[in-house]
Structure 1
Amino acid sequence: MRIIPWQDTPQAIAILASCAIEPPAKLRHTKQFYLTSDEWLAYDVSDERVAKLSAIQNEHFLAAECLGGREAARIAVGLSVAEAIDIAVAVNAGRGIAA
């Protein structure tokens, strides 16, 4: 049995290619604490591509865990959705520079 990372599935590759060409929006998030706050950017989950990638990742994790346990699931979900999109965008940007 060979477990592949979720981002290497044909459906994820197609969606990531779309994100590389036209990246989803990143939204600023803030969480307030007693004496401080935390701010971060995250891809907009209302973008159906981001939502679909998350669903693919979750499905792939569950399938891999059923087939091979926690270690298989770890291999299957090595990257977060944001990391996969960031890589796709960076690779596409690198191609534009070399052209």
Structure 2
Amino acid sequence: MSLQIGKAIYDILHSNTDIVAKLQDKIFPLISEQGTTFPFIVYRRTGIIPAYTKDRYSVNDSVTVEIIVASEKYNESVEIADLVRLALEGKRGTYSNI
């Protein structure tokens, strides 16, 4: 399931009313759509470290995700980045069946 972490990231960010108020629907995996206006978010999975058990099954993989906040204004990008961090930090549970 760790390969599908992007679905959970999108679900968490898109359900956050403060982030949606700033960005509307401008949250993209990998690249933004052509012609997208600022500000927007792009996210991507950058690494997976499997945690194998003695039975050779991988459980509780460690996944690294990069989130880029693009804006024309530095202060706005920092404000959105703070909202993203608050939305994701320490988040546990099931999102988009992930």
Higher strand share: 2
Tell me the TM-score normalized by structure 1. 0.33
TM-score scaled by length of structure 2: 0.33
